[in-house]
Amino acid sequence: MPDVTGDFGHIPVLLDRCFALLHPALTRHRPDGSGAVLVDATIGAGGHAERFLTELPGLRVLGVDRDPTALDIVRGRLARFADRLTLVQTRYDGIGTALAESGYGTTESVDGILFDLGVSSMQLDRVERGFSYAHDAPLDMRMDPTSELTAAEILNSYDEAELTGILRRFGEEKLARRIATHIVRRRARTPFTSTAELVEVIYQAVPAPARRTGGHPAKRTFQALRIAVNGELDALSAALPAALGALRVGGRVVVMAYQSLEDRIVKRTFAAATTSGTPSDLPIELPGHAPQFTLLTRGAERADDAEIQRNPRSAAVRLRALERVRATSEPARKGG
């Protein structure tokens, strides 16, 4: 097994489990992965991709990330695999376009897909990006630095109702209206420019008893702003159907989510994909109504204590996986 941290200091979450789940799909053609394609839809620093490329010397990998800095890092880190690694800068809901432009095709053309959602530890560690409430930095929060919307623009220009909606929907913040009121009141004096200014206002808005429970009082607000800036939930809702459509029969997808809003979308999409369209009171499967996918996990899998101790970021992870068992055009057999 390769050194998965190297000089990067980032330990891939549930690396062994991801490899075990995807390995059967990637070695169906040949034991070394020849003839198989893996899409790492959130390649980040390349920790997961490195494991697959190292242990399966015939495998081809399409790595996708919206962050050009991440792609620069992984391009250097995995330079020795350049003949088998294609990198594309796009948000993961652009997976279909990335596949088409890379010559793989968008329909039943790949064998494995991996999503490691949310903000990466690499991005959190870059203080200037403004993702963390623990360090003072510009209110940016863009995963793609070339995109236009920033956290500062949201805080300084959205009205109180819009701010309340963002905090409530994307942060599940119970004090959303109270925090939004304090934000609007503060920006009337001076526009927000830094994360420390926002943290200070949140402390003023959240009553002392509430500050003593549920972790850092700014956690949910920062999550909400990050999701809003990057359109994360809309991107995920679009990316998952595209990913499922790209899988060959026998292909597998693994998704790791780190907060309930993401996991809810994954759970709902996977449930629909693995549910028969035949009415439950009929004794046989109607042609064309059988599910095209089957679940590989019972519910959401979590990291064990050993993994969490080794890699604290894994404490929040929820992993779900499924496999394509039937082609889109394949009719169902009698009896399912």
Annotated binding site, which residues? 46-48, 65, 92, 116, 123
Task: Provide φ and ψ at 49, rounded to 5°.
Answer: -60, -40
Q: Are 332 and 286 in contact (CB under 8 A)?
A: yes
Check residue 44 and give left, alpha or beta (phi > 0: left; psi -120 to 50: alpha): left
Could you tell me which residues are annotated as the binding site for S-adenosyl-L-methionine? 46-48, 65, 92, 116, 123
Q: Which two tokens stand for residue 212?
A: 């003593």
DSSP string, 237-306: HHHHHHHHHHEEEEEEEEEEE-SHHHHHHHHHHHHHHTS--S-TT-SSPPTT-S-SEEESSSS-B---HH
Q: Give every CB contact of residue 109 below 8 A, 6+ residues apart in sequence.
A: 37, 99, 246, 248
Q: Give every CB contact of residue 9 below 8 A, 6+ residues apart in sequence.
A: 125
